[in-house]
Amino acid sequence: MSAAGTASRGIRILSKAGPFLICLALWQAITMLGITDPAFLPGLGAIWAAFRDLAGETTLWVDLATSLITAALGLLFGILIGVPLGAAMALSPRADGFFGPIIKATYSLPKSALVPLFVLWFGVGGLTNILATVLTTLLPIVIYTYHGVHGVPRLFLWSAAAFGTPRWKTLTRIILPAALPAIFTGIRIALGFAFIVTIAAEMIVSNHGIGKLMFFFGDSGSYNYMFAAVITIVVAAYLADRAFVIFTDHILRWQEPAERHA
Amino acid sequence: MRKAAETIALRIWDGVRAVYPLLLLLVVWELVARAGLVRPLFLPPVSVVLERLYVTATDGELWPPLLTSLYRSAAGLVLAAAVGIPIGFLVVRNRFVAWFVDPLVAFGSPAPKLALIPVFTLWFGIDNLSKIMLVALTTVFPFMLSAVAGARTVALNQIWAARAMGSSEATLLWRIVLRAALPSLMSGLRVAVPTALLTTFTAEMVAGGGLGGALIMAQRYFESATVYAYLLVMLICGYLFDVELLRLRRKVLHWYEG
């Protein structure tokens, strides 16, 4: 890349970071001028010190790992169940007739409300939180897979049939690749949901995880630590989303860029 | 006459077909619970849950927490719409606002904002205000994004025509931009309303009050039937709002095809 190219890239990144820098500067100015109670709004320096303190101990990393594993397992099972279910509903009217009403009826239920119920069944943390995450991630994945498979051009299917392609091969070689952009969009939405529900479940009842950590610091009045934990999980969610977009763009590099995010 | 009877029978058949999986599920639930395959603490029979729902609805136990939750959701939504929609329109009309807002929205929109429950409790207390503000924060993004998408659909020559005929900026915004953005705004509302309910119920489960708090209390006292009954209420709330929103959309957008 040429020097001019690098420079313009640098300016672009700086221009995007500008609003964040302004917000942080405002935050710092407010805390330094003493407009607010420092306990309610700790300065950036205090939060950074709290983060370094936390990062030096294992608790933060164990809790972060717990949250990330819960979210990842929830998403994984959401995909493993959701993609076949969505595809089956799109391909078979009978499956659609059975699962359609169930999905419509449960769509509007806030899944985090199931946490207290799952606690009765499976106890605190662990399976309870994973299950709540699975149920939440399932819906967007099913819906986007359904629409993706529905949207596969008929012409592709007719051509495959005309060439005598076996059904299984039609599914793996034609339907799934054609529906992939939509499926990835569903998974990206589900990824965001996975973080939300994992943290919510940990805040409602749990012994581990970042949600629990944040709540603990908030309860005990160590607000700079609480802010450090909140920022940690928000940044982790952001990085996960970025990584997924990069992964998607790589897998779908054969597609027109405009059609990648269906 | 015969034809009318046939259509009625057909409609009933359609109705049954639309809900039979749910009825089947409820029957299986009832049978499993009645047969004693699981402890009633884990899964009380449907009939017991419905009875419990009826009792809480008639003796008034259900209504105060439900109304509290709905008030919090509604207030947060109004606040989010009042802030988000104008900012969305400004993003389209003003390059500086776009420069400032776009990256913040790109970061904030997918961020897990429920992580801020402890922060908002600290800033705005454990009562209504913290929940309302959190709902406003989680729903401001769908409003803003749909306002941007909607305002982008306004045809430039419509704006030029209105200007040429001497419309003021306010008239332009009210008569043209807002009208053109309405379909998109309705879609935004359909995302925002369930998000508002989710935010309210979750915040209440963590920090108390409302139907979410009532659900947690019921669970702590192992009143399983009440837990299921309140879950059912949350589900019905979300469902009814969605149905009503779709109806509102058809009514408001009768001129809009697609």
Residues B75 and B135 in one domain: yes
Distance CA A121, CA A101 (A): 25
Domain contains B64: yes
Q: What is the pLDDT of residue A256?
A: 66
Distance CA B37, CA A227 (A): 46
- Nearest CB among B112, B114, B121 relative to A218 is that of B121
| CATH code where residue B184 lies | 1.10.3720.10
CA B22 to chain centre: 22
Residues B29 and B103 in one domain: no
Residues B105 and B20 in one domain: no
Distance CA B1, CA B111 (A): 59
Q: What is the pLDDT of residues A120-134, one digit of tens each?
A: 888 887 889 999 999
Residue of A nearest to B116 (CA): A230
Average pLDDT, stretch A58-87? 92
Nearest alpha carbon to residue B132 among B79, B72, B52: B72
pTM: 0.86
Residues B11 and B138 in one domain: no
Domain contains B109: yes
Mutation test of the interface with chain A: which of B66, B131, B205, B220, choosing the one with the most A Cβ atoms within 10 A?
B205
Domain contains B67: yes
- If one counts the domains in chain B, the total is 2
- Name every chain B residue with its beta carbon within 8 A of the beta carbon of A19: 99-101, 103-104
Taking the CA of residue A96 and the nearest CA in chain B, the distance in Å comes to 10
Q: What is the pLDDT of residue B68?
A: 93
**Do the beta carbons of residue B147 and residue B89 sit within 8 Å?**
yes
Which phi and psi (to 5°) does residue B5 adopt? -60, -40
Residues B22 and B101 in one domain: no
Q: Is the model's pLDDT at B230 over the cut of 80?
A: yes
- Of A52 and B257, the structure prediction assigns the larger pLDDT to A52
Q: What is the pLDDT of residues B37-49, one digit of tens each?
A: 888 788 888 899 9
If you search the block for the tokens 């933060």, which residue do you land on?
A: A60
Q: What is the pLDDT of residues B158-210, one digit of tens each?
A: 778 888 888 787 787 777 888 888 888 888 898 899 999 999 999 999 888 88
- Nearest CB among A110, A199, A230 relative to B119 is that of A230
- In this complex, do A117 and B101 lie within 8 Å of one another by their Cβ atoms? no
Q: What is the pLDDT of residues A12-71, one digit of tens each?
A: 777 778 888 888 888 888 888 877 777 778 888 888 988 888 888 888 899 999 999 999
Taking the CA of residue A28 and the nearest CA in chain B, the distance in Å comes to 17
Domain contains B42: no
What single letter denotes the amino acid at residue A60? L
Q: Is the model's pLDDT at A74 over the cut of 90?
A: yes
Q: What is the pLDDT of residues A198-257, one digit of tens each?
A: 999 998 888 888 888 888 888 888 888 888 998 999 999 999 989 998 998 888 887 766
**Do the beta carbons of residue A223 and residue A39 sit within 8 Å?**
yes
Contacts of B116 (CB under 8 A, 6+ apart): A230, B134, B137
Domain contains B52: no
Q: What is the pLDDT of residue A259?
A: 58
pLDDT band at A260 (very low <50, low <70, confident <90, very high): low
Domain boundaries along the sequence of chain A: 1-36, 42-260
The CATH label, of 1.20.910.10, 1.10.3720.10, 1.10.10.10, 3.65.10.10, for the domain at A42-260 is 1.10.3720.10
- In this complex, do B103 and A20 lie within 8 Å of one another by their Cβ atoms? yes
ipTM exceeds 0.85, yes or no: no
Residues B151 and B241 in one domain: yes
Nearest alpha carbon to residue B245 among B203, B166, B175, B191: B191
Residue of A nearest to B22 (CA): A102
Helical H segments across chain B, by residue range: 2-34, 46-58, 63-93, 95-108, 117-124, 128-152, 156-164, 169-171, 178-207, 210-220, 224-252
- Of B245 and B169, the structure prediction assigns the larger pLDDT to B245
- In this complex, do A101 and B121 lie within 8 Å of one another by their Cβ atoms? no
Domain contains B43: no
Distance CA A128, CA A116 (A): 9
Indicate the average pLDDT of chain A: 85
Nearest alpha carbon to residue A158 among A170, A146, A149: A170
Which residues numbered 32-51 in A keep a CB inside 8 Å of some CB on B? 40-41
Indicate the average pLDDT of chain B: 87
Which residues numbered 219-248 in A keep a CB inside 8 Å of some CB on B? 223, 226-227, 230, 233-234, 237-238, 241
- Name every chain A residue with its beta carbon within 8 A of the beta carbon of B231: 109, 113-114, 117
Residues B105 and B71 in one domain: yes
- In this complex, do A19 and B103 lie within 8 Å of one another by their Cβ atoms? yes
Q: Is the model's pLDDT at A261 over the cut of 60?
A: no
The total of other beta-carbon atoms located within 10 Å of residue A1's CB is 7
The per-residue b/e assignment along A72-91, b for 16 or more CB within 10 angstroms, e otherwise, is bbbbebbbebbbebbbbbbb
Distance CA B216, CA B227 (A): 8
Nearest alpha carbon to residue B87 among B135, B148, B168, B172: B148
pLDDT band at B256 (very low <50, low <70, confident <90, very high): low
- In this complex, do A217 and B118 lie within 8 Å of one another by their Cβ atoms? yes
- In this complex, do B205 and A112 lie within 8 Å of one another by their Cβ atoms? yes
What single letter denotes the amino acid at residue B255? W
Residues B26 and B147 in one domain: no
Domain contains B116: yes
- Name every chain A residue with its beta carbon within 8 A of the beta carbon of B145: none
**Residue A168 burial by CB count (10 A; 0-12/13-18/19+): exposed, middle or buried?**
exposed
Residues B133 and B70 in one domain: yes
Residue of A nearest to B225 (CA): A117
What is the residue range of B97's domain?
Answer: 58-252
Average pLDDT, stretch A142-157? 87
Distance CA B69, CA A113 (A): 13
- Number of alpha carbons in the 13 Å side-chain half-sphere of residue B171: 10
- SS3 sequence, chain A? CCHHHHHHHHHHHHHHHHHHHHHHHHHHHHHHHCCCCCCCCCCHHHHHHHHHHHHHCHHHHHHHHHHHHHHHHHHHHHHHHHHHHHHHHHHCHHHHHHHHHHHHHHHCCCHHHHHHHHHHHHCCCCHHHHHHHHHHHHHHHHHHHHHHHHCCCHHHHHHHHHCCCCHHHHHHHHHHHHHHHHHHHHHHHHHHHHHHHHHHHHHHCCCCCHHHHHHHHHHCCCHHHHHHHHHHHHHHHHHHHHHHHHHHHHHCCCCCHHHHCC
Domain contains B193: yes
Average pLDDT, stretch B128-157? 90
Q: Is the model's pLDDT at A85 over the cut of 90?
A: yes
CA dihedral A55, A59, A60, A66 (to 10 degrees): 150
- In this complex, do A108 and B231 lie within 8 Å of one another by their Cβ atoms? no
